[in-house]
């Protein structure tokens, strides 16, 4: 069956008065679809499970979408995530559209002051998340870090996000969950503005990387990302020193 054949039309959106526009992320049998939609001339983002295999949709698709919507609702006041506009049934959510693009690669972020303010905004966004008891866990993927024209960072894609302010599991893993996000910020600082890293930053990064070298951590991470379709890690290059 072709992908088009496997993807039911996003009719629930149309029924709510949305006009479906460009597809930003094609869905897959195990993955949600992301589209731009408009209503009354205003643009939004819709995420739906229309392309997902019914089995995956029932087994975990709806749970993951509900989980993401719940986190976005919890973070509404934070100012660092898009607002959840509407839930449509079990299979679709509509979000505020963030006018911006993914975090750019090194050579595209000029001048230096711009890089610094984007990185400061990224660190602020992550600290704000953590103050609200949430870790993102997929910030190595630059497509989950949207940067507006005025260099403000907005974080998207909370499928793998976790709350660490409640539940035994979350509380137990709190320091690990926080550290994963912090190390992602450090990695982006290392990539985009390595001169700004202190010896302590470099030391923390080195320790974390060697800890991650344990094969089982790597293998488990890869397996989880593959099974749940979590974004690919960007290739991180060591700065030429
Ligand atoms: N609220 C939003 N505003 C603008 N663009 C968005 C928004 N949410 C998602 N996107 C875009 O759609 C892409 C895919 O969405 P995302 O939630 O990351 O889904 P996936 O799980 O497929 O990675 C993002 O990388 C981003 O470019
Ligand atoms: Mg993503």
**Average pLDDT rounded to a whole number, residues 150-161:** 96
What span, in angstroms and rounded, lies between the C-alpha atoms of 98 and 79?
Answer: 12
Strand, coil or helix: what is 55?
Answer: helix
**Average pLDDT rounded to a whole number, residues 219-228:** 72
> In the chain, what are the helix, strand and coil shares in percent, each to the nearest 5?
45, 20, 35
What span, in angstroms and rounded, lies between the C-alpha atoms of 169 and 94?
Answer: 29
Ligand 2 centroid, distance to 214 Cα (angstroms): 26
Please determine, looking at this structure, whether the domain spanning 100-228 carries the CATH number 3.60.20.10.
no
Q: Which of 24, 33, 137 to mutate to test the pocket of ligand 1 (most atoms within 8 A of CB)?
A: 24
Ligand 2 centroid, distance to 156 Cα (angstroms): 7
- CATH number assigned to the domain with residue range 11-96, chosen from the 4 options 3.30.200.20, 1.25.50.10, 3.40.50.720, 3.40.50.300: 3.30.200.20
pLDDT at 3 over 50: no
From the CA of 228, the nearest ligand is 1
Strand, coil or helix: what is 80?
Answer: coil
**Average pLDDT rounded to a whole number, residues 144-150:** 96
Ligand 2 centroid, distance to 157 Cα (angstroms): 5
Q: What is the pTM of this model?
A: 0.85
pLDDT at 121 over 60: yes
Cβ proximity of 53 and 63 under 8 Å? no
pLDDT score recorded for residue 109: 65
**Average pLDDT rounded to a whole number, residues 149-172:** 92
Q: Which of 103, 156, 231, 232 to mutate to test the pocket of ligand 1 (most atoms within 8 A of CB)?
A: 156
Computed over every residue of the chain, the mean pLDDT equals: 88
Residues linked to residue 19 through DSSP beta bridges, in sequence order = 38
Condensed to tens digits (0 to 9), the pLDDT of residues 173-214 reads: 899 999 999 999 999 999 999 999 999 999 999 998 888 777
From the CA of 141, the nearest ligand is 2
> Any idea how long the chain is?
241
pLDDT at 31 over 80: yes
Give me the residue spans of the domains in the chain.
Answer: 11-96, 100-228
In the chain, DSSP assigns E strands to 19-25, 33-39, 42-48, 84-88, 92-96, 100-102, 134-135, 145-148, 153-155, 162-163
């Amino acid at each position: 069956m072709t992908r088009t054949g496997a993807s039911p039309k996003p009719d629930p959106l149309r029924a709510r008065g949305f006009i479906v526009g460009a597809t930003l992320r094609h869905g897959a049998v195990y993955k949600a679809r992301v589209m731009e939609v408009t209503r009354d001339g205003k643009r939004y983002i819709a995420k739906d499970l229309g392309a997902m295999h019914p089995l995956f949709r029932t087994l975990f698709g709806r749970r993951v979408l509900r989980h993401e919507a719940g986190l976005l609702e919890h973070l509404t006041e934070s100012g660092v995530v898009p607002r959840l506009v509407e839930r449509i049934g079990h299979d679709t959510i509509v979000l505020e559209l963030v006018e911006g693009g993914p975090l750019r690669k090194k050579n595209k972020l000029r001048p230096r002051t711009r890089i610094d303010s984007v990185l400061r905004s990224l660190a602020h966004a992550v600290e704000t998340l953590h103050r609200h008891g949430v870790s993102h866990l997929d910030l190595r993927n630059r497509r989950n870090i949207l940067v507006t024209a005025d260099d403000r960072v907005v974080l998207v894609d909370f499928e793998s996000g976790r709350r660490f302010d409640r539940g035994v599991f979350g509380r137990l893993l709190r320091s690990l969950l926080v550290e994963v996000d912090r190390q992602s910020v450090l990695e982006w600082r290392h990539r985009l503005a390595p001169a700004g890293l202190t010896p302590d930053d470099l030391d923390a990064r080195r320790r974390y990387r060697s800890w991650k070298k344990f094969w089982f951590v790597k293998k488990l991470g890869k397996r989880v990302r593959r099974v749940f379709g979590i974004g690919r890690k960007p290739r991180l290059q060591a700065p030429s020193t």
